[in-house]
Amino acid sequence: MATEAKRDYYEVLGVGKSASPDEIKKAYRKLAMQYHPDRNPGNAEAENKFKEATEAYEVLSNDQKRRMYDQFGHAGSSGQGFDPFSGFGGAGGDPFSTIFDAFFGQGARGGSRGGARQGADLRADLVISFEEAIFGTEKEIDYRRLESCTTCGGNGAEPGTEPTRCPKCQGSGEMRVRTFLNMVTVTTCDQCSGRGVIIPIPCKTCRGEGRIRETVKRKLTVPAGVDDGMRIRIGGAGDSGPSGGSAGDLYVNLRVQSHDFFVREENNILLQLPINIVQAALGAQLNVPTVDGDEPLNVPAGTQDGTVFTLRGKGVPYIDSSGRNLGRRGDQMVVVKVRVPTKLNDDQRELFQKLGETMGMDHFEQKERGFWSKIFGN
């Protein structure tokens, strides 16, 4: 079965055959930073180019291997399966630790090596009233988080002692193992549990963990216009990271209490307004409750059940995804519910009967009986 010919190592690095060791190293670092897997997660092409560049550098940076390669080509280099991570500080070493840390800082590489990892994100629930959701509020929440131990400064070692570099992973916190398919798998070092260091004498306060779980208080600004189920993120308020890693975030889930008579529909507020039949027939000037206080409402004569009146700008403020107020509000929709009396005294019954006579109710009843008789034949 034919195999694809390997590219010339000098061509891979983009240097001439007379290149100096410094030129080879400079060219390699440029390619390494461009194609390193930490900067190209899930990119198989970049991973292959990284392996190719690393293989070329491993040969050309070694005087003996370079002489063999110059004389015999690829046949002069090792015919064994190549490990792009070998020869750089032991089984768990990473040839780009110093490169990436120097140029981009630990965060550019995921912050996972050497034990310094980001702390966990936390979640908390906050119950607020209907009005607080409309107008915003200031709250103080209590929750538990892992804080850096003040006794040992977060390194987990008893004061007066220092953590030592893990001999198994050489301080990376990870182990790389080549499988039978020639793939490299990365696992957490089982000797230091991924911290990259060994604690000879654990801190008595945190028992070597470097962090202590404590109850903390934090003030929270709830913007006007939030709704039930919305979430507010507070950066850096989660658990402190192990071994000096950055803290996670706190996500506060809002739970808005229901109101006795207001109902929210997006940025509008609905209110059912009960009126009696006299008010509906003759009209009335009423005071209607809103979240801003009572507002006058003119109910015209002859208003029917289910009629909707709109109070402009008496609804919920509009906000964007960051919680910024957009400077406008929804409306309040007032839905009229005409209440028909179920119990009448003698005077009221007499008045309704007289009203019915003036409105021709007898004539209506005769016509109604005639209508049903046509259907049922009575």
Q: Is 147 annotated as a binding residue?
A: no
For residues 222 and 248, give the distance between their C-alpha atoms in angstroms, rounded to a whole number: 20
Q: Is 192 annotated as a binding residue?
A: yes
Indicate whether 225 and 159 sit together in one domain. Answer: yes
Q: Which pLDDT score, from 0 to 100, does residue 146 have?
A: 93
Q: Which pLDDT score, from 0 to 100, does residue 4 have?
A: 52
Nearest to 280 by CA among 257, 305, 256, 311: 305
Nearest to 332 by CA among 280, 254, 273: 273
Indicate whether 139 and 70 sit together in one domain. Answer: no
Indicate whether 64 and 15 sit together in one domain. Answer: yes
Which tokens is 214 given? 């404590």
Which tokens is 127 given? 């119950």
Q: E strands, the chain, where? A: 122-128, 137-148, 164-165, 174-178, 184-188, 197-198, 211-222, 231-234, 250-256, 262-265, 268-276, 284-288, 295-299, 308-311, 317-319, 325-329, 332-339
* Residue 126: Cβ within 10 Å count: 18
3-state secondary structure of 106: helix
Nearest to 99 by CA among 46, 39, 167: 39
Indicate whether 215 and 301 sit together in one domain. Answer: no
Domain that holds residue 360: 346-376
Position 334 in a domain: yes
Position 184 in a domain: no
pLDDT tens by residue, 39-84:
787 788 888 888 898 888 888 988 888 887 777 676 655 443 333 3
DSSP state of 4: P
Position 92 in a domain: no
Tell me what the mean pLDDT of segment 181-204 comes to: 81
For residues 238 and 216, give the distance between their C-alpha atoms in angstroms, rounded to a whole number: 11
CATH code of residue 234? 2.60.260.20
pLDDT tens by residue, 290-347:
999 999 999 999 999 999 999 999 999 998 877 888 899 999 999 999 998 888 898 8
- pTM of the predicted model as reported, rounded to 2 decimal places: 0.57
For 135-149, 161-175, 220-234, which range has the lowest pLDDT when averaged over its residues? Answer: 161-175
Position 52 in a domain: yes
Tell me phi and psi for residue 349, to 5 degrees: -60, -40
Q: Is 206 annotated as a binding residue?
A: yes
Indicate whether 139 and 225 sit together in one domain. Answer: yes
Domain count, the chain: 4
Indicate whether 243 and 297 sit together in one domain. Answer: no
pLDDT tens by residue, 105-124:
333 334 444 556 788 999 99
Q: Is 54 annotated as a binding residue?
A: no
Q: Is 288 annotated as a binding residue?
A: no
Q: Is 149 annotated as a binding residue?
A: yes
